[in-house]
Amino acid sequence: LVLVVDYGAQYAQLIARRVREAHVYSEIVPSSMPVAQMLARRPKAIILSGGPSSVYVEHAPRTDPALFDAGVPVFGICYGFQSMALALGGEVAHTGGSEFGRTALSATGSGVLLHGLPQAQQVWMSHGDAVTRPPAGFVVTAATAGAPVAAFEDVARGLAGVQFHPEVLHTEHGQTVLRRFLHDVAGLRPSWTEANIIDDQVDAIRAQIGGKQVVCGLSGGVDSAVAAALVQRAVGDQLTCVFVDHGLLREGEAEQVERDFVAATGVKLKVVDATDQFLAALAGVSDPEQKRKIIGREFIRCFEAAAREIVAEGEAVEFLVQGTLYPDVVESGGGTGTANIKSHHNVGGLPDDLQFALVEPLRTLFKDEVRRVGEQLGLPADMVWRQPFPGPGLGIRIVGAVTADRLDILRRADAIARAELSAAGLDRDIWQCPVVLLADVRSVGVQGDGRTYGHPVVLRPVSSEDAMTADWTRVPYEVLETISTRITNEVREVNRVVLDVTSKPPGTIEWE
């Protein structure tokens, strides 16, 4: 276990991910956690993250020098680097040499971290203060124009740090530097692999569930599928999956769950076809938040009814699987296991008389790890690499009231856009590409010899790391042309295809 101490940088999660990419397990803890508590977790190494503050502002989080007395290797990054320097008796000053963004770094010594890397390299910087004198015993191994001490190390004590951000992709050799610390300075073995994750989880799930019954709601998304597959591997037929088909899915998605997922896992599946129920509940509703509430409510009703049926058929169901991911755990303030968990949008708010204990096999995993575990478990690639799709589905991609006809139009247009983006090899560049039907807007067109009065659809391709911010993806014109031509030719009701070129913020990813 490597602990990443979060000094309030937006980079802590990224650091934790990069550590895991070096095949070493890591978790994030807040900088307010007392050192004794950190050490009680028996970490093999500790990484101090960057942070927004200057070490000199009032209430700036400090690093307790006791951290360095325990013989645990420590790596400081940016703010963590400065705070480490101060705690160990070095000097940090406001030199006026701020550096933000891409910066040229020169190696000045033959340390372990930068060993064998080019003498000059590009790194990503974001700092106002700089270390001006390293603590006693440290060798300075790199400098930049604004930071005379840009990297230092005391390998004998297992301590090292860098002013730049090794975790961001703009730092050319960042991952190598991080690996050098983990493997060469801290002496950690790369043992965090998909196979080990699966073995550990399977053991943990068996221990938790024993011989009891468990249910899992499948949404068609990656998280619930991988969580279910893990539980299935652990306890086999004690698991029953429930798939509520609300009729708001895209083309092929229900089949993917009902056919491909079952074939890949052998899971026991209960399908609830609730299309009519959802459409009836949504009739005449145009307001997006209203739609979300209705879809959420109907979903819970269906899931609850299915769970009651399972209970009525046999033994009591005591466990419910949820696909909670590590970022949700961190963001709800609970790195330590007892956190209040963000309720799953699909099954949150189950009634009190249906009491389940939660099984959360993805609680320690990042999304990319979930995908690799899914692949390793033999799930269909289409499902594992699926782009995010909102729980309320196409219901919030029809601007106007949701009807069966409108869903049919949107489903056909969406299928064409997805097929062409995939054919162009753009799936991994695009975070997601909502296709939105402006159902209450009509536009005049001409097709053949006749005037048409149809609907526009909007293409919303976005690139993003985490959906919190996003930019519109520069999809090549030829691909856009093919999509536009195919949609207007093949989907008679649509006579205009428009492209959304708004970043987030100010736009959200979805239109509703």
Amino acid at 312: A
User: CB under 6 A: which stretch of 275-283, 367-375, 383-391, 448-456 binds ligand XMP?
Assistant: 383-391
Confirm whether residue 223 is marked as ligand binding.
yes
Closer CB to ligand XMP, residue 109 or residue 327? 327
Confirm whether residue 219 is marked as ligand binding.
yes
Is residue 165 annotated as part of the catalytic site, yes or no? yes
The least CB distance from residue 392 to ligand XMP, in Å, is: 5
Q: Give yes or no for residue 358 binding ligand XMP (CB under 6 A).
A: no
The total of other beta-carbon atoms located within 10 Å of residue 303's CB is 22
Is residue 241 annotated as part of the catalytic site, yes or no? no
Q: Give yes or no for residue 504 binding ligand XMP (CB under 6 A).
A: yes
Confirm whether residue 225 is marked as ligand binding.
yes
Q: Give yes or no for residue 391 binding ligand XMP (CB under 6 A).
A: yes
Rounded CA-CA distance 308/211 in Å is 19
Residues near ligand XMP (CB under 6 A), total:
12
The least CB distance from residue 467 to ligand XMP, in Å, is: 4
User: Cβ(165)–Cβ(50) under 8 Å?
Assistant: yes
The least CB distance from residue 414 to ligand XMP, in Å, is: 13
Confirm whether residue 221 is marked as ligand binding.
yes
Q: What is the 3-state secondary structure (H, E, C) of 303-344?
A: HHHHHHHHHHHCCCEEEEECCCCHHHHHHCCCCCCCCCCCCC
User: CB under 6 A: which stretch of 73-81, 150-158, 187-195, 385-393 binds ligand XMP?
Assistant: 385-393
Closer CB to ligand XMP, residue 73 or residue 390? 390
Site string for ligand XMP, 229-268 (x = CB under 6 A): ----------------------------------------
Among 50, 166, 361, 392, the residue binding ligand XMP under the rule CB under 6 A is: 392
Closer CB to ligand XMP, residue 148 or residue 395? 395
Closer CB to ligand XMP, residue 177 or residue 321? 321
| Cis check: omega of the bond before 505, within 30 degrees of 0 | yes
Q: Give yes or no for residue 318 binding ligand XMP (CB under 6 A).
A: no
Task: Exactly one of 21, 99, 167, 512 is catalytic; name it.
Answer: 167
Task: Exactly one of 78, 216, 241, 302 is catalytic; name it.
Answer: 78
Q: Give yes or no for residue 410 binding ligand XMP (CB under 6 A).
A: no
User: Cβ(504)–Cβ(460) under 8 Å?
Assistant: no
Q: Give yes or no for residue 388 binding ligand XMP (CB under 6 A).
A: yes
Rounded CA-CA distance 448/12 in Å is 57
Q: Give yes or no for residue 37 binding ligand XMP (CB under 6 A).
A: no
What single string gives the DSSP state of each residue in 218-241? E-SSHHHHHHHHHHHHHHGGGEEE
Quick one: 8 exposed, middle or buried, by C-beta within 10 A (0-12, 13-18, 19+)? middle
Is residue 78 annotated as part of the catalytic site, yes or no? yes
Rounded CA-CA distance 260/263 in Å is 5
Q: Give yes or no for residue 141 binding ligand XMP (CB under 6 A).
A: no
Pairing of strands 317-321, 443-447: unpaired
Q: Give yes or no for residue 128 binding ligand XMP (CB under 6 A).
A: no
Among 345, 367, 412, 486, the residue binding ligand XMP under the rule CB under 6 A is: 345
Helix, strand, or coil here: 294? Answer: helix
Among 83, 141, 432, 482, the residue binding ligand XMP under the rule CB under 6 A is: 432
Helices (H), 355-476: 367-376, 381-384, 404-423
The least CB distance from residue 215 to ligand XMP, in Å, is: 20
Site string for ligand XMP, 449-488 (x = CB under 6 A): ------------------x---------------------
Q: Give yes or no for residue 510 binding ligand XMP (CB under 6 A).
A: yes
Amino acid at 82: Q
User: CB under 6 A: which stretch of 170-178, 233-241, 314-322, 504-512 binds ligand XMP?
Assistant: 504-512
Q: Give yes or no for residue 390 binding ligand XMP (CB under 6 A).
A: yes
Closer CB to ligand XMP, residue 108 or residue 503? 503
Rounded CA-CA distance 86/198 in Å is 42
In the region spanning residues 282 to 311, those forming contacts with ligand XMP, defined by CB under 6 A, are 292
Task: Exactly one of 165, 173, 344, 455 is catalytic; name it.
Answer: 165
Helix, strand, or coil here: 415? Answer: helix
Confirm whether residue 224 is marked as ligand binding.
yes
User: CB under 6 A: which stretch of 65-73, 270-278, 323-331, 389-397 binds ligand XMP?
Assistant: 389-397
Helix, strand, or coil here: 39? Answer: helix
Q: Give yes or no for residue 367 binding ligand XMP (CB under 6 A).
A: no
Q: Kindly list the distances between the CA atom of residue 210 and the CA atoms of 169, 206, 226, 235, 236, in Å, as whole numbers in the listed order.
A: 43, 6, 20, 8, 12
Give residues with Cβ within 8 angstroms of 25, minimum separation 6.
1, 2, 19, 191, 192, 364
Buried b (16+ CB within 10 A) or exposed e, 364-401: bbbbebbbbbbbbbebbeebbebbebbbbbbbbbbbee
Helix, strand, or coil here: 101? Answer: strand
User: Cβ(38)–Cβ(5) under 8 Å?
Assistant: yes
Nearest to 363 by CA among 342, 385, 387: 342
Closer CB to ligand XMP, residue 8 or residue 327? 327
Rounded CA-CA distance 75/49 in Å is 9
| Cis check: omega of the bond before 506, within 30 degrees of 0 | yes
Q: Give yes or no for residue 509 binding ligand XMP (CB under 6 A).
A: yes
Provide the annotated active-site residues: 78, 165, 167
Binding site feature residues: 219-225
| Binding residue positions for ATP | 219-225
Contact set with ligand XMP (CB under 6 A): 292, 345, 388, 390-392, 432, 467, 504, 508-510
